[in-house]
Chain A
Amino acid sequence: MKRHLISAADLSRDEALLILDTAEELARVSERSIKKLPTLRGRTVVNLFFEDSTRTRISFEAAAKRLSADVINFSAKGSSVSKGESLKDTALTLEAMGADAVVIRHSASGAPHRLATWVHGSVVNAGDGTHEHPTQALLDAFSMRRRLGALDGRKITIVGDVLHSRVARSNVLLLHTLGAEVTLVAPPTLLPVSVDTWPCAVSYDLDAVLPKSDAVMMLRVQKERMNAAYFPSEREYSRRYGLDRDRFAKMPDDAIVMHPGPMNRGMEIAAEVADSPRSTIVEQVANGVTIRMAVLYLLLGGDTA
């Protein structure tokens, strides 16, 4: 493994599969009554969160604690960061505390790259601006593999605000590495102008793509996009790109529905669809802890047995 996990593009096919296989082994541990492993005893993992994300933070926290690491939660709110301390000074402070790994969530794309130039420990990107969120892509791949088997040749459809989505970027890269065929579906305003250079197909027509999909991943539509002329209204977005009951019926019987959360029920996804047995949304949360254990284990714990 490399020292950092900043982009899904950092992972070779073998490395990605190693993480997924390691997660499978660790999942078995999670099924035991005593979930804790001693692997990272004495190592320090810092959760450096400049953006509110309780879900992701507690997922990383649980993962580190199950590996017996010491966890320090460093939230930007109420800390020296809100008094104007720079990212560099924060990094040097963590360095002085002896952080073995820093898990960073930041609103600025590229913040983990900058952090990695100032600290010696491993940097794990827990979401940077509109760039990437590689552990989300890993947990999505893990969830898909558990339901669908190997991902080679599988048809995965990602629907929604690709332009601003770090989840979409990481998923396109990782799924391509794993041999899946990705199709992005979005209004043209929510796709990057250069999307034709990405390793995936693009469609504006969700109804045409659904019958050929093994998995459909719905992205959250951010409130601020709704007021910035990316689409005329919430209702129109929902009609054209929302996964409602009728569209759900067009999917193959064994196809699954995914969402990275938090969901706007009734907007990009109907409640019945989100709660259906073919939805992996709750599993994705559980798998998040497992996959993050695997990542920390491989970055900090050295080789697998």
Chain B
Amino acid sequence: MIIRDVRVLGGEPVDLRLHDGVIAEVGPGLKGAGEEIDGGGAIALPGLVDLHTHLREPGREDAETVETGTQSAARGGYTAVHAMANTSPVADTAGVVEQVWRLGREFGHCDVQPVGAVTVGLEGRQLAELGAMADSAARVRVFSDDGKCVSDAVLMRRALEYVKAFDGVVAQHAQEPRLTEGAQMNEGVVSGRLGLTGWPAVAEEAIIARDCLLAAHVGSRLHVCHVSTAGSVEILRWAKSKGWNVTAEVTPHHLLLTDDLVEESPVGAYNPIYKVNPPLRTRADVEALRAALADGTIDVVATDHAPHPVEDKESEWSAAAMGMIGLETALGVVQGAMVDTGLLDWAGVAERMSYAPARIGRLAGHGNPIEAGAPANLTLYDPSHRAPVDPSSFASRSRNTPYRGMTLPGRVVATFLRGKPTVLEGKLV
């Protein structure tokens, strides 16, 4: 198969020949017979890799399944996703991670790499059998209690130490639980006016500081999930300056949206579509996160795609579920927040959304540069497209997007997983 007229990382137009799931040749005016796809000048990116996806299966198939979640991922340009462990049952045993991994193999429109829980039942009391998950068919390398913080300092230390034996990483949801009891939104000017219990930045920053120190002390790898504050960025910058093995991610929504949407938005005040963990922060935080993503202090954009059924969001604020879906809008948000603003070029997008997450997750078959011999995991993207976000067109089973009706740039034209198209002309294959 030949893909004609694409611009690798936004460069000069070339053709790509795919053969046996591998990129066989890259260059202008490739000759050959067989199937051809007109790239139409689209940007070619390495297939995107999400370090932070909630597929909800097993347990909440009303919100998402492995099938619909990976369809959503493919439409967003992803060829691999890390499925978070907070399912029901929790992915805290080899049995559950293998179940998710098999579902991915069976239905997956992209590769599904299960994340294992750090503690049994995400309860923060006893380490889950991390080694068994690592040795299972799912080959788990990323461990996270996401949704809950491993707040016990001793348990966190042990987890960081223990995963060294199989080159694992602990992905921490940094949220000091006592400081965030009943917390509803970022603690600041807006929470004070709205009478919603505040979620202080320090609750995130204190855990990140502690964990960086612990990771340095035991010489292990720490990954910080969904960093959301300017203070967190400063701590990470300091930890990295020491040469410590710390990586971090930011979500698309924290690069774009701010807490004042809770007070005033096109969908009304107190609309739980904006309720998310960690909460939307201030404009100053957004600016700091963008700068940190640009200079590499934050390594990765991860979606924290968190599907919820309609009824879990159609309620009063405090009763609503936390989270927003993001797989199908991630690249557009990143283009708008980072590329169109001149903070990141397309090579930078490839690094933050493909190479780095694959490296952190130890996914060998993903996150490789587009060159001869690499697995043919590709995303073709048209950055000139403009359209309002229409949630009814999403492949995800859920509709809890904060971007409804908002005009986002760009469109994923096609996605290829090991040479096979999963999306063509913006539609699932």
Q: Taking beta carbons and an 8 Å cutoff, which residues of A are in contact with B?
A: 86-88, 106-111, 113-114, 116-117, 128-132, 164, 166, 169, 192-195, 197-198
Contacts and interface: CB of A to CB of B under 8 A. Distances in A.
Interface stretch (B293-301, B310-318, B354-362): B310-318
Interface string B189-216: 1011111111010000000000000000
A114 B318 CA distance: 12
20 contacts: A86-B311, A87-B315, A106-B316, A107-B318, A108-B319, A109-B184, A110-B196, A110-B269, A113-B268, A129-B195, A129-B196, A129-B318, A130-B195, A130-B196, A131-B196, A169-B195, A192-B192, A193-B198, A193-B200, A195-B192
A5 B271 CA distance: 18
A114 B195 contact: no
A131 B262 CA distance: 13
A108 B192 contact: no
Given A193-B188, A194-B188, A114 B315 contact: yes
Interface centre among B193, B196, B315 (most CB of A within 10 A): B193
B268 A109 contact: no
Nearest to A114: B316
Interface of B: 184, 187-189, 191-198, 200, 268-271, 311, 314-319
Given A193-B198, A194-B192, A88 B314 contact: yes
Contacts, number: 75
A59 B413 CA distance: 61
A194 to B, nearest CB: 4
A132 B268 contact: no
A141 B269 CA distance: 26
A110 B187 contact: no
Q: Is the interface of B mostly helix, strand, loop or mixed?
A: loop
A114 B270 contact: yes
Contacts of A108: 316-319
Contact of A109 (B196, B271, B315): B196
Nearest to B190: A194
A107 B317 CA distance: 11
A131 B191 CA distance: 9
A88 B313 CA distance: 11
Contact of B195 (A87, A109, A197, A198): A109
Contacts of A132: 195
Contacts of B191: 192, 194
Contacts of A87: 315-316, 319
Nearest to A165: B195
Contacts of B271: 114
A86 B317 contact: no
B321 to A, nearest CB: 13
Contact of B270 (A86, A88, A110, A130): A110
Nearest to A86: B315
A86 B309 CA distance: 14
Contacts of A169: 193, 195
A115 to B, nearest CB: 9
B393 to A, nearest CB: 24
A86 B314 contact: yes
The 4 A-B residue pairs whose C-beta atoms are closest, nearest first, are A110-B270, A131-B195, A192-B192, A130-B195
Nearest to B262: A110
A194 B282 CA distance: 13
Contacts of A194: 188-189, 191-193
A113 B270 contact: yes
B192 A110 contact: no
Contacts of B200: 193
Nearest to A129: B195
Interface centre among A110, A111, A164, A169 (most CB of B within 10 A): A110
Contact of B192 (A111, A114, A198): A198
A70 to B, nearest CB: 27
Given A86-B311, A193-B187, A197-B189, A111 B316 contact: yes
A158 to B, nearest CB: 15
Contact of A166 (B187, B195, B269, B319): B195
A131 B194 contact: yes
A3 to B, nearest CB: 14
Given A109-B194, A197-B192, A198-B192, 18 more contacts: A86-B315, A87-B315, A87-B319, A107-B318, A108-B316, A108-B317, A110-B317, A110-B318, A111-B317, A113-B269, A114-B316, A117-B268, A128-B195, A130-B195, A130-B196, A193-B200, A194-B193, A197-B189
Contacts of A86: 311, 314-315
A110 B271 CA distance: 9
A61 B193 CA distance: 29
B313 to A, nearest CB: 11
Contacts of B194: 109-110, 131
Contacts of B319: 87, 108
B316 A110 contact: yes
Contacts of B197: 130
A107 B196 CA distance: 11
Contacts of A107: 318
Contacts of B192: 192-195, 197-198
A110 B191 CA distance: 11
A244 B191 CA distance: 33
A61 to B, nearest CB: 24
A107 B184 CA distance: 14
A107 B191 CA distance: 16
Contacts of A110: 194, 196, 269-270, 316-318
Nearest to A116: B268
A197 B193 CA distance: 9
Interface centre among A106, A114, A117, A164 (most CB of B within 10 A): A114
